[in-house]
Structure formats: C-alpha cells, structure tokens
A and B are shown apart, each in its own frame.
Chain A
C-alpha cells in the first residue's frame, strides 16, 4: 500500500506492534519468537544454516503456529555468534550450531524448558545468565544509534515503522519548517560520527544557505578504517533509519536526491539497502510527493571499489561521479560545491542513524547524555586482544577502562593490557596509564589519538608497538592516492626507516628523522589521509619510545614480534620430543633426542618459522633476541581469566 498520511502509517505500525511488544517485554505471548542475528559476524559463523535447521525442526514437531523465526541485525556480541534471542523472556542463546537446534525446539519450544548448555557463561565466575539484560557486556551500554539492531527484521519495513519509524519524517514534512529542523539538530549537540566531530547542525545550516540548485544529500558508507564495523552493522541491521534521516536532511536543506556511497566489500549491507530502498519506494516513503506533500526525495546507491582515500569527502564525491577518487583542496567545501559541483550535504552512516530519534524525542533528551562538549552516545567496535569482541554503544565520556574491562571482559590469556589503538591509520595508541580517560573527541586528541570512526583495537604485551606503527604506515602508503608529494613520497621514506628499525638496522638519528618527516607530511599534505598518516608513528614514539630504542640500540624486539630481532625457542614443558621440527628445519638448526626437549641453535636458525608451523604441540614460539624465556613471553594458552584492573 501507499502511505499517504498519518493514519496509513498507524495502520502499518499496528500490524507489527504486537510482535514488537513481545520482544520489548511489554506484552506476553502464547507462542515464541526467535530472533536470529544475520549480520556479517553471525552469518559467517553459520547463522543461516541454524535458521534453516530451526525451521525444519519446528515444522517436523508441528510447532509452526507457535514458533516463528525472525532474521535480525547485529546484537553486537560477535564473539558469541551465532546468537538466538527467544521471546518472551529475552532468553539469550549463544554459539548455537546446527546440531543444537533439535534440542532447542524440543526442549524449549515444545516442553518450555531452558536449554542450559547454550546460555552465556561468564568465563571467570562461571556464572550463567538467562536474560540478555543480565549479561555484563550489555549492561553498561546505551543503544541509540543501534536501537533497532537486533530488535527488528531489517528486511521488513513494517517492523521499522512499528518502532516509530518514518513518523519523524511525517512530522517534519507536515509540521516543521526546514529551519526548525536544523535548529533541533544544532541544539541536540550531535557531531559528525565519521571521525571529524564537526557539529552536524552547522553543516546542515551551511548547505541550506547555499543558493545553487539542485542540492544533494550524500551518505558516507565507505567504512575503510581497518578494525571498524559500526556502519556496516547499522546498514545491515537498520537500513531504514539511514534512509529516513537522509529524507529529513533533504527536506531541511532543500534537496530531492540522495546518494549512499557504500563499500563493495559489504555485500549484505548492499543487499539490505537495495531492499530497503525498494520497499520504501513501494510505500511512497521515497519518491515523489512524500505523504502527499510537495516534497519529493529519492535515494540511489553508488558502490565504492576499494580505495581508503574515498572516505575523505572530496575524494568520495569524485568517486561517486565515476572518476578516480582523488581529493581536492578545500575550500570550496562540499556544502558549496560537491556532488556534480552542486551544494552537497555529506554525513556518515552513524550520524544519520541518530537523526530520526533526536527528532522524535527532542533535542533536550539527546543533549542530556554525554559530556560538556560531546553529546549523546558513540558506537565502538572492540577487537584485538580482548575477551568480548563486538560492537557496543556507550554514552560519550565513558572511560576506556569501563569499555575494556567491564564491557569487553578484559584481556584473554591472563596477559597484561598494553595499549588500545583508536582512530585507525589516522589515530594513535593510548597506553595503560591513560585508561581512565573519559572518551570524547577532545580528550582523545589530547592523548595524541583521535576518535575516528570508533574502532578500538586492544593490544597486549605480545604486541610490538614498532611493528604496529609500521603496519599503519604501510597501510597509509599503500592507500595514498599519489596526488600530492608529501603523502606519496613522505610516507614511503618513513616506511623505509621503520623497516630498517624493525630489521635491526636502525640508528638513533632515525628517530629524529622520523619526527621531522612526520611534521612535514602533516603540514604539507592535501587531505586528511596524508595529514594524519604519521600519527601512529608519532603516538607510539611518544608513549613507547623505549621500545623503539630497544629495536635500534639493543637490536631486540621485547614483545617477540619482529622476525629479525627475535629467536625461535622451544618450550621444554610442552615439547614431546617427536622430532617433527627437526625434520622440518631446512638448515639443520634443531637437534634433540628421544624423551628430552629439542633445542634450536640460535646461530644456525634462519627464522623461516617452518618448525613452528609444523609443531603439533605449539611448543615453539618467538622470543626477544638473546632474552630469557619466561612465562610472560610464552604464547598464551586459552586461559580466560579476568585480571583485575
């Protein structure tokens, strides 16, 4: 049906509301609703076959009238996927596999008994949690941008409407002037979630003031930051909130056309967006004369083709026009001269996802959350050496300690926390003594890092900070578009120095040269990619200078990572004297006899790693060159203790 007015929208809402109320715990129900995550994480762990098997068993038990299975977006707890949430009761089943489904159907849905073994267990305290709300991972969170992820089926527009979707768009078109909408966004204090943190309201106002026509609304969904997947999860779990927000933005600035620039590497997100756009068009929520008003708005997709620089706004716009994604100097800013050289409003996915709810609940509600300068919440993806990898949303100003220890569950293997990397290749590392920093845009940049799009990569004592800096530099160098010399050649020279250092050929004057080059590249590069490319090096030099000195002066890698500066060592406690390593060694560096641990001759070893790859007991590991073999530098077994911070 075509939605023409508020009554039509209410009718659709009421169709799906009973189902939604059960999930929200407002209503009880006779049968069961099973929500299964179909985001990228859970899909890769096999949630599709779980759904198939569930439906099969439900049918064979004759329960198809009482149990319904729904596909949803990401719950955020990617590590425990595939995840099933059963309503009523909000029962949280995790790590569900195909063969568990028969038990689930028979025991839970037929007999009404909980399947204990599939519930979430806290690793340290062996505590089992029945409900999602009791799990520590979810407790400190506040889900606003992610409000619909894991709650609604992203492939059914009616479920989005049932949770008050498109009501803000109706209200805006019929009851508010464009200027009023921009004022609400300004007063809410929302800032760009792509990383820059520019006040969103101001950006909207600039574009609204531009005199040229037509104007465009563009969504940056080119999430190129390694380690960040919040935009992907929003697009996969709640595509309509982005569409609704873009239409609202279009109304506010006087645009009739939207473009979503999305990475080709995100096939599920693309599929869901295509479907969402089609459904919205069929209902008249996109297209001409929305809600029978004078306002028309439509959205098209443009696919990126794997270039990190296309996350930069001027490069993105070039790429969206089918050209090489090279940035250009600003001004003129896109608000004046953007897509097709016309005024263009460009915001990130997460920024848009906040817009409809701000308009529904009012700016004061939103501005009440967060810190003095940064309002609202921020979505972070936590990954790396952390127990609970996944996607979280917390109020601005939450400390890193809360995120890493309370929500993230600490560092696996009982190892020590070393640093957390934020802001991707444009950011830096934050060491342990700054763990109590409340995070917002300002405090992170004070710590020499930045918010970026919100990827947090946790590192422990087995990560080498020099190697990490080199990794990011390699990334920036690979991804430099080559248009400006400081970025193209400067990062290359920096990388050469870093390679020398990690190979044990560095000199102390290299450190000064790195800093000097970094300054020049920051000052002289054309776009954000080049201006921030030296940050990982500068930030590791600032907090982990002693590690650089160990590489340069002592020719050793304390973390045991850099190949040329480490030795392969046999752990005598694990070695079973099978002799496979000695056979694998091409240079005859390994010797030993039965019943005694084998031994690697450090002089003969060429560090090819063949022995480590073959060892059936994982008894061979890398250690700092010339250093002692201690328990601390042995590779982790799978202990999952929660160290007290």
Chain B
C-alpha cells in the first residue's frame, strides 16, 4: 500500500464503518469486499487480511473469493477506468477493435493500467446496453455506438479534463457506497 498515515487511517476508519454494519455476518463477505474496493480502489493483501481478521473468516477463504470474481482487483487501478464491453452484440459490431485501439493508443502491453495511473483498460462481458453496441464505460459514464476512430478523441477528452483539474462527473449512478443506508443488512 502506498498510503500515508492520515489518508490510510481515514480509509480504514471508513472500512470499520462498513464492518460495523455487515461484519458479523460471513454471508456478507462479498458486500464487504465491494465496499472495501470502493474505499481503497482495489483490494491489497493488507485489506484482505484486515477483513479476514475482523470477520473471523480464514484469509485463504477471503482471498479465494477475491480471486474468483471478475469485479475484484488486487492491483491498483487508474483514475479513469475504461471498461470495453465484449458481449456478443458489441463484439459483432467491432468492440474487439475498440479494445485493441485503446490499449495501443495508451501503450498498454502487459499491464491494464498506464504508468501515470490515469487510465485502466479492461473488458467486461455484456453491460446489457446492446441497443447501443459497441458500448464502453469510463468510470460511470456510458459511451455507445462507438467506432475505433472515436478512441483518440475520448482519451483526449479525459486527459483534458484531468489537465483542467475538473472533478470527475457522472456520479449519478449508484455505487456500492450509496445504497448501504437504503437496505437493512442481512436478514
């Protein structure tokens, strides 16, 4: 973890709040991990070990769940998460090319994240917006009906946003942290 004292403490405090709500129920492990990933951006070993200790689940079992699901990442992610849908509808409309173009233009070979930690490019299986195929998401923004030609402009748009120091928009959709107050934990 490359976190400094205060920031780290603040994040673990937030994790403690999540654990206070869900931590007693081992059935809520996936929920806790989702919230933890939302707080830390990814799930480093230290966080997995902490959750294991607090929820009294063997760390091997926690790690087993983390590595099983595609949503969890054990590597830090960039600020802008590009997720290219490679579902069938998008694939037949040329999504593979869009994915390749993104990786090419950002110079990604073995890693998913650019060195400046700005972009992470990954693919996912069907976002359920097949009517707009091919579709990508950048954080919570959805971009549909794309061609490989739009890639350079999109990258430029986010780089410009970053240079201008704007705050990331598109927070209207729910993120794991937003609905904990709505639902009663467990059953």
Stretch of B10-18, B66-74, B113-121 that contacts chain A: B66-74
Query: Which residue from A79, A266, A303, A459 sits with its C-beta under 8 Å from B131?
Result: A79
Check B126 against A225 for contact (C-beta < 8 Å): yes
Check B92 against A228 for contact (C-beta < 8 Å): no
Given contacts A323-B65, A457-B89, contact A44 B144 (CB under 8 A): yes
Give Cα distance in the complex from A45 to B70, angstroms.
Answer: 27
Give Cα distance in the complex from A323 to B68, angstroms.
Answer: 9
A134-181 contacts to B, CB under 8 A, are none
Give Cα distance in the complex from A381 to B173, angstroms.
Answer: 23
Contacts of B128 in A (CB 8 A): 40, 223, 228-229, 232, 265-266
Task: Name which residue of chain A comes closest to B178, CB basis.
Answer: A271
A431-476 contacts to B, CB under 8 A, are 455, 457, 459, 463, 468, 471-472, 475
Say how far A379's CB is from chain B's closest CB, in angstroms.
13
Query: Which residue from A305, A322, A455 sits with its C-beta under 8 Å from B26?
Result: A322
A252-305 contacts to B, CB under 8 A, are 257, 259, 264-268, 270-271, 274-275, 277-278, 298, 300-305
Give Cα distance in the complex from A471 to B126, angstroms.
Answer: 13
A310-344 contacts to B, CB under 8 A, are 319-325
- Does A532 touch B at the CB level, under 8 Å? no
Contacts of B61 in A (CB 8 A): 323
Query: Which residue from B29, B64, B87, B101 sits with its C-beta under 8 Å from A227?
Result: B87
Give Cα distance in the complex from A278 to B180, angstroms.
Answer: 12
- Does A634 touch B at the CB level, under 8 Å? no
* Interface size in chain B (residues, C-beta < 8 A): 55
Interface of chain A, helix or strand or loop or mixed? mixed
Contacts of B186 in A (CB 8 A): 300
Say how far A323's CB is from chain B's closest CB, in angstroms.
7
Contacts of A201 in B (CB 8 A): none
Query: Which residue from B31, B130, B140, B144 sits with its C-beta under 8 Å from A381?
Result: B130
Check B65 against A78 for contact (C-beta < 8 Å): no
Check A305 against B71 for contact (C-beta < 8 Å): yes
Contacts of A81 in B (CB 8 A): 131
Give Cα distance in the complex from A508 to B129, angstroms.
Answer: 39
- Does A572 touch B at the CB level, under 8 Å? no
Give Cα distance in the complex from A222 to B62, angstroms.
Answer: 22
Check B125 against A274 for contact (C-beta < 8 Å): no
Given contacts A383-B89, A424-B88, A463-B92, contact A307 B68 (CB under 8 A): yes
Given contacts A389-B133, A468-B92, contact A322 B28 (CB under 8 A): yes
Q: In the complex, which of the residues B33, B124, B187 has the most CB atoms of chain A within 10 Å of its own CB atom?
A: B187
Say how far B165's CB is from chain A's closest CB, in angstroms.
23
Check A227 against B127 for contact (C-beta < 8 Å): no
- Does A395 touch B at the CB level, under 8 Å? no
Give Cα distance in the complex from A81 to B132, angstroms.
Answer: 9
Task: Name which residue of chain A comes closest to B145, CB basis.
Answer: A45
Say how far A349's CB is from chain B's closest CB, in angstroms.
12
Say how far A427's CB is from chain B's closest CB, in angstroms.
10
- Does A250 touch B at the CB level, under 8 Å? no
Say how far B170's CB is from chain A's closest CB, in angstroms.
10
Contacts of B26 in A (CB 8 A): 322
Contacts of B135 in A (CB 8 A): 44
Say how far B38's CB is from chain A's closest CB, in angstroms.
11
Say how far A460's CB is from chain B's closest CB, in angstroms.
9
Given contacts A229-B130, A265-B127, A307-B68, contact A275 B182 (CB under 8 A): yes
Given contacts A78-B132, A274-B183, A306-B124, contact A324 B92 (CB under 8 A): no
Given contacts A229-B130, A457-B88, A457-B92, contact A306 B71 (CB under 8 A): yes
- Does B154 touch A at the CB level, under 8 Å? no
Give Cα distance in the complex from A494 to B61, angstroms.
Answer: 31
Task: Name which residue of chain A comes closest to B135, CB basis.
Answer: A44
- Does A101 touch B at the CB level, under 8 Å? no
Check A278 against B182 for contact (C-beta < 8 Å): yes
Proximity bits, B127-162, A CB within 8 Å = 1, else 0 = 111111101000010111000110000000000000
Say how far B37's CB is from chain A's closest CB, in angstroms.
9
Say how far B97's CB is from chain A's closest CB, in angstroms.
8
Give Cα distance in the complex from A306 to B91, angstroms.
Answer: 19
* Interface size in chain A (residues, C-beta < 8 A): 68
Check B68 against A324 for contact (C-beta < 8 Å): yes
Contacts of A304 in B (CB 8 A): 69
Check A274 against B179 for contact (C-beta < 8 Å): yes
B1-52 contacts to A, CB under 8 A, are 25-31, 33-34
Say how far A100's CB is from chain B's closest CB, in angstroms.
18
- Does A48 touch B at the CB level, under 8 Å? yes
Given contacts A45-B144, A264-B34, A390-B131, contact A305 B174 (CB under 8 A): no
- Does A308 touch B at the CB level, under 8 Å? yes
Proximity bits, B77-101, A CB within 8 Å = 1, else 0 = 0000000001111011100010001
Check B182 against A274 for contact (C-beta < 8 Å): yes
Contacts of B173 in A (CB 8 A): 267-268, 271
Task: Name which residue of chain B comes closest to A482, CB basis.
Answer: B68
Give Cα distance in the complex from A319 to B65, angstroms.
Answer: 9
Contacts of B64 in A (CB 8 A): 324
Check A303 against B129 for contact (C-beta < 8 Å): no
Give Cα distance in the complex from A41 to B145, angstroms.
Answer: 11
Give Cα distance in the complex from A58 to B87, angstroms.
Answer: 40
Task: Name which residue of chain B comes closest to A425, CB basis.
Answer: B88
Task: Name which residue of chain A comes closest to B172, CB basis.
Answer: A48
Contacts of A479 in B (CB 8 A): 125
Task: Name which residue of chain B comes closest to A81, CB basis.
Answer: B131
Check A324 against B65 for contact (C-beta < 8 Å): yes
Say how far B58's CB is from chain A's closest CB, in angstroms.
12
- Does B176 touch A at the CB level, under 8 Å? yes
- Does A199 touch B at the CB level, under 8 Å? no
- Does B175 touch A at the CB level, under 8 Å? yes
Given contacts A257-B187, A457-B89, contact A271 B174 (CB under 8 A): yes
- Does A413 touch B at the CB level, under 8 Å? no
Given contacts A44-B142, A78-B132, A303-B34, contact A264 B71 (CB under 8 A): yes
Check A226 against B125 for contact (C-beta < 8 Å): yes
Task: Name which residue of chain A comes closest to B175, CB basis.
Answer: A267
Check A301 against B28 for contact (C-beta < 8 Å): no
Query: Which residue from A227, A270, A308, A319 sits with its C-beta under 8 Å from B89?
Result: A227
Give Cα distance in the complex from A80 to B61, angstroms.
Answer: 47
Give Cα distance in the complex from A438 to B184, angstroms.
Answer: 46
Task: Name which residue of chain A comes closest to B151, CB basis.
Answer: A613
- Does A557 touch B at the CB level, under 8 Å? no
Say how far A231's CB is from chain B's closest CB, in angstroms.
8
Check A300 against B132 for contact (C-beta < 8 Å): no
Check B72 against A385 for contact (C-beta < 8 Å): no
Check A383 against B172 for contact (C-beta < 8 Å): no
Q: In the complex, which of the residues B28, B72, B125, B132 has the most CB atoms of chain A within 10 Å of its own CB atom?
A: B125
Between-chain CB contacts (< 8 Å), 19 pairs:
A41-B132, A45-B144, A48-B172, A78-B130, A227-B87, A227-B88, A228-B126, A229-B126, A264-B176, A267-B174, A267-B175, A271-B173, A300-B186, A303-B176, A306-B70, A320-B27, A323-B65, A325-B68, A384-B93
A contact set with B: CB distance below 8 Å: 40-41, 43-45, 48, 78-79, 81, 223-229, 232, 257, 259, 264-268, 270-271, 274-275, 277-278, 298, 300-308, 319-325, 381, 383-385, 389-391, 421, 424, 455, 457, 459, 463, 468, 471-472, 475, 479, 481, 609, 613
The 8 closest A-B pairs by CB, nearest first: A78-B131, A226-B87, A305-B69, A306-B70, A383-B89, A383-B130, A44-B142, A229-B128
